[in-house]
Amino acid sequence: MQNRTALITGSAKGLGRMTALKLAEEGCNVVINYVNSRDEAAQLVEQLHAEGVRSAAVQADISVQKDRLRLMEEAQSLVGPVDILVNNAGPFVRERRLFSEYTSAEINYLMQGNLLGVMELDLLLLQGMRQRQWGRIVHFGFGHAAEARGWPHRAVYAAAKVGLVSFTKTLAVEEAPHGITVNMICPGDIRGANKEKLISEVAQLQDDESPRGRPGAGEDVARIICFLCQPESDFVTGNIIDVNGGLDPIRSHIKKPLT
């Protein structure tokens, strides 16, 4: 993927950062996006430059339309036409709340950041991808999002992501003739510092909540995204891929049998 340009939203830290590093290893130039993490974004850009790829950081809030438009313009001006769009950014309220406890402003914020803003970013880049007859779009969901099950205390976030499932599958069919693939990654509950760790760094750790028995790492997610972005992965599109070690975020998993 030498000289392909990837834009990764929310990539100064966490899963986005790991994805940026992995795509850079494959030869991609990378546009880093952040909202408040200016220092982390600058450090990552320096690291990517040291690895021999072009990179730049652009501040923008994906939930704000004018920021989305500016992000697209600056990304392509600073680094080049975007071939790969990884829609990693998406606001999430960790506090458990009933739907009746949300304000209208909070509902709009979550829907803009997780569904409507993602759709607009895709739209802004599709024309260029079509002209080049090549493109990779990756959306982010949550475990088992494709089943459209209810998720108590996560009503707004879940509704946005489930809507994104349908959009992912529709866009994949519409854009396949133009050499553009569209897929969704659904990470498990990868927490804290583990979002920026390699698999080898967590392989020996114990996680009693995970059916796999170990915690997830950022590399678990980033390596799947890299696979989807490969030129040879053009036959893989419209898929909703769970990367969660078997953990169901809504229902408890089956415990290991006693030995």
User: How many Cβ atoms are within 10 Å of 170's Cβ, its own excluded?
Assistant: 12
pLDDT at 208 (0 to 100): 82
Residues 42-67 have pLDDT tens digits of 999 999 999 999 999 999 999 999 99
Q: Distance between CA atoms of 34 and 59, rounded to whole angstroms? A: 5
Say if CB 65 and CB 120 are below 8 A apart.
yes
Say if CB 93 and CB 155 are below 8 A apart.
no
Residues 157-184 have pLDDT tens digits of 999 999 999 999 999 999 999 999 999 9
Q: Distance between CA atoms of 48 and 56, rounded to whole angstroms? A: 9
Say if CB 180 and CB 135 are below 8 A apart.
yes
Residues 20-34 have pLDDT tens digits of 999 999 999 999 999
Straight-line distance from the first to the last Cα atom of the chain, in angstroms, rounded to the nearest whole number: 48
143: Cα separation from own chain's centroid: 13
pLDDT at 120 (0 to 100): 97
Q: Distance between CA atoms of 55 and 116, rounded to whole angstroms? A: 27
Report all structural domains of the chain as residue ranges with CATH numbers, in order of start: 5-243 (3.40.50.720)
Instruction: Look at residue 53 and give its three-state secondary structure.
Output: coil
Does 102 have pLDDT greater than 50? yes
Residues 190-239 have pLDDT tens digits of 989 999 999 999 989 888 888 888 988 999 999 999 999 999 999 999 99
**Residue 150 vs residues 99, 101, 106, 143, 253: alpha-carbon distances, Å:** 12, 17, 19, 12, 17
Closest CA to 114 of 161, 149, 68, 81: 161
Please state the pTM of the whole predicted model: 0.93
